[in-house]
Structure 1
Amino acid sequence: MRLINCMKIIATIVVVILMFSCKTIPTVKSPSLVGQPPEDTTVFVVDNEPSNESIATFLTEYLKIKYKDRDFSKFIYVSIKHQKLYLIEKDSVRFKFPISSAKLGVGNVQNSMKTPIGLHTIKHKYGDDVPLAGLFKSRVYTGNVSPIYAQKIKSPTDDVTTRIMWLQGEEPGINKGRNIDSYKRYIYIHGTSEEGYIGEPASHGCIRMKNTDVLNLYEVVDEGTPVLILKY
């Protein structure tokens, strides 16, 4: 009996020692490596993206209900929240690309330098024979090729490269007419020299894409293809 009691006392002492020793162990954060900035915890997207299947199904049904007179067998969806562009065809996501929308957020007013929301269409396409990273000025190929900045480096100019898809607003009072007209604001989907900023808001209103991505998208869409831009 005495042996059992002694064993119980010893066990109790061991538990108490372990409890106090655990409490006195300080929590130490791993230091940042020399010459390397600490990990950036500021992320534009704070929750998970919905699946491709759910996006395609929901948006196709939504568009058919809201715009009954339009054909949505193939359309582009731009998610400002997730900084992604989806090409949806026959209720499935055919392509998904990272993009960069306006640094100042969403807005439809002239000279706001914001990305307009709502339903658009591709009004014009430019760049059929332009080489990768070919530089445009007023939608005309200059004959020059722009350097591509893979890191977060600002170009001295707001370069438009490779391909252009000029958008026209389709919703009067929202993105068409008066001082809220996307077409008159020269809102494009286009390539950029600032590829290091793709995936976060950085443009002056347009939808920027990586040069190989905008080339691939250009080849599979036509003038008249619907483009839905939403904050979500």
Structure 2
Amino acid sequence: MRTPTLAELPPIEDIWLEIDTTQQRLRCWRGPKVLHECSISSGAAGIGEREGSGKTPHGWHYIRAAIGGDRPENAVFRGRRWTGEVYSNALAETHPERDWILTRILWLCGLEKGVNRGGQVDSQRRYIYLHGTPADQPMGMAASHGCIRLRNHDLLYIFSLALPGTAVWLHGGRQSFD
């Protein structure tokens, strides 16, 4: 994956997200300044764009939709809709097979045709999200089904800043913007 040029970076006053799958870190930037940094969990199957792979895509994306802003923390989502449930250990014991999508959803759309947009590599059609996860799930290691999992408190902060249209760069290694 190539490093973007300075000309490709979002305007200096804009919020944008950097997701580093090698370091398992998310950084929320305003231009060249990091506003927030946190651990994430990307796809356990590794990095890749292919539909059905369970892998986390790379490249430039944008937030297509922000879902769940009016729901409680730990709200349970299926098919991008609130189930009416709020996650608890008892609920988890009742449904051990579920891949829990909690609190909020930031749905990604690829910007690079043939890389993460269109055909069998389309991030939006693959339903790639940033979303909350139960507190007992690991962070800082690849363990998801392809989405980016965050702790609820980190997701709530990012959700408050990263509105639909926000640029997101997923990559596999720390890069320099100098």
Mark yes or no: TM-score above 0.5. Answer: yes
> Bigger relative contact order, structure 1 or 2, given CA contacts below 8 A and separation 6+?
2
In the alignment, what sits opposite 1:167? 108
In structure 2, the CA distance between the partners of 1:202 and 1:219, relative to structure 1 (3 Å rule), is same
In the alignment, what sits opposite 2:84? 143
In the alignment, what sits opposite 1:54? none
Asked whether the equivalents of residues 195 and 210 of structure 1 are also in contact (C-alpha less than 8 Å), the reply is no
Q: Which has the higher helix share?
A: 1
Asked whether the equivalents of residues 122 and 225 of structure 1 are also in contact (C-alpha less than 8 Å), the reply is yes
Deviation at 1:213, TM superposition (A): 1.1
Asked whether the equivalents of residues 15 and 161 of structure 2 are also in contact (C-alpha less than 8 Å), the reply is no
Q: Partners of 2:6 and 2:36 in 1: how far apart?
A: 21
Return 5+ residue gaps in structure 1 as ranges. 1-58, 149-154
Is 1:230 aligned to 2:161, yes or no? Answer: no
Count of paired positions:
166
1:88-121 superposed Cα distances (whole Å, 9 cap, x missing partner): 1131100001100000100000000000000000
Identify the match of residue 75 of structure 2 among 134, 158, 163: 134
Asked whether the equivalents of residues 127 and 141 of structure 1 are also in contact (C-alpha less than 8 Å), the reply is yes
Deviation at 1:137, TM superposition (A): 1.3
Identify the match of residue 39 of structure 2 among 98, 103, 112: 98
Q: Which runs of 4+ in 1 moved over 3 A?
A: none
Considering only CA atoms, is the larger Rg found in Structure 1 or Structure 2? 1
Deviation at 1:129, TM superposition (A): 1.2
Identity %: 35
Return 5+ residue gaps in structure 2 as ranges. 90-95, 174-178
In structure 2, the CA distance between the partners of 1:189 and 1:63, relative to structure 1 (3 Å rule), is farther
Asked whether the equivalents of residues 176 and 182 of structure 1 are also in contact (C-alpha less than 8 Å), the reply is yes
Asked whether the equivalents of residues 133 and 150 of structure 2 are also in contact (C-alpha less than 8 Å), the reply is yes
In the alignment, what sits opposite 1:157? 98
Tell me the TM-score normalised to structure 1 length.
0.67
In structure 2, the CA distance between the partners of 1:176 and 1:98, relative to structure 1 (3 Å rule), is same
**What is the DSSP-based 3-state SS (H/G/I as helix, E as strand, rest coil) of the residue aligned with 1:196?**
coil
Q: Partners of 1:195 and 1:173 in 2: how far apart?
A: 36
Deviation at 1:195, TM superposition (A): 4.0
Asked whether the equivalents of residues 124 and 166 of structure 1 are also in contact (C-alpha less than 8 Å), the reply is yes
In the alignment, what sits opposite 2:6? 64
